[in-house]
Structure 1
Amino acid sequence: MISSPARRHMQRALAAKAAASTAPDQLMDGTGIYEQMLLQLANDRGRLKQIQSGEGKAKLKADLLPAYDSYIAGVLEAGQGAADEVVTTVMLWNIDAGRYPEALHIAGYALRHQLAMPDRFERTTGCLVAEETAEAALVALRVGGDFDPAVLDQAIALTDDQDMPDQVRAKLLLARGRWVLKSANDDNPPTEQDLVIAVESLKRALTLDQACGGKKDLEHAERFLKKHTATQPTG
């Protein structure tokens, strides 16, 4: 496992060099650092397969991921978009582990260079980023957990031009609208800007998928926006 600052620096430098010298239409296969990380990935997958609990897997991923950070930093710093299973897998593991800023930072690179997910995944990279982020936000809402709504804004911006089923994009927009309304009440109303975002997001979600479950949320958001507008000075 990479532990010392010197070893982390070397790993980042090797990853940057390998990524910079590998063209977008090539694989990272054959570079020493990539083979090393693939081996580590295989070993870590073996550990994950021994755990049945989804919660347990997420905790283990959180423990494993720092060992990949230097490699990922090097690739993102100098990479030209070569196919890289480590990058796409670590991106997903970061979502699973709740490391959303790290996941979306990697997603920006992956989507910009049109990196595909490994063959075992049926969804495109853009679809996976949108759906997994949305699902994490909705689960946090259901269980009263924490989630930074800015993560949803970033995921929406990153995947705006990505092709995906309408239901997936609707789920992401629904999550955004619901998080705006999460703490909304008469004593602590959202700002007008937040309410406008919520209304627009929920309307778009329902346009894409009328069965997304956002009708009552939209009514709620529109009532708050109407109250907010009515209380504003007319000049």
Structure 2
Amino acid sequence: MININAISKRYSHADAPVLNNLSLTVSDGNSVSIRGASGSGKSTLLSLIAGFESPDSGSITIGSQTLPFSSEKNADIFRRRELGVIFQSYNLIECLNVWDNIAFTCRLKGNSDDSYQLHIMALLGITHLKNKPAHQLSGGEQQRVAISRALVHKPTLVLADEPTGNLDEDTSDTVSDALYSLCRSLDTTLVVVTHSEDVARMATQQCWLRHGQLHSEPA
């Protein structure tokens, strides 16, 4: 379960806090979509949940782990074992091929599962790219590789920042269906930031972020 209790976050250059007394609860295995205007704090919220940043006030609990982490070592262990992150910028390792990029986290954990990796790649339509270097992929192909990498180690929590933002409509439908269905099958909690109404409506909870707080109805 994710339990976010009254967190606030302000950056020194901003006149107002980007997040202001924000709270959110997501049960294990459920999904929540978050929409909002550009600059409303959606990516900041994901960064706080992942522990990349710390709130100025309030608390975040993920399962039995309360953030901020007691050490960077514990943060790395948590992210490696429990967390899958789908970044807007992909963050692939350009010198590795598709297969090795996806397998990277599992190899760190020592629990590679080739058959499951092939299953995910097939769902996302990238099996034929297995041996292709990452730097030769299109933007949409890189995004599908990044999604596969986030899911392949069977995390308990996936954070997705615009997971279909660089995909055409048909591919977006295929990728979002696979993302939600895989998380359901693994009982994985999913938090999705998106501008797509179709992607957002697939979540068990829909939220809108405005004026630093989450709301259950659109603006």
TM exceeds 0.5? no
Q: Choose between structure 1 and 2 for higher RCO, CA contacts under 8 A separated by at least 6 residues.
A: 2
Higher helix share: 1
TM-score by length of 2: 0.29
TM-score by length of 1: 0.27
Higher strand share: 2
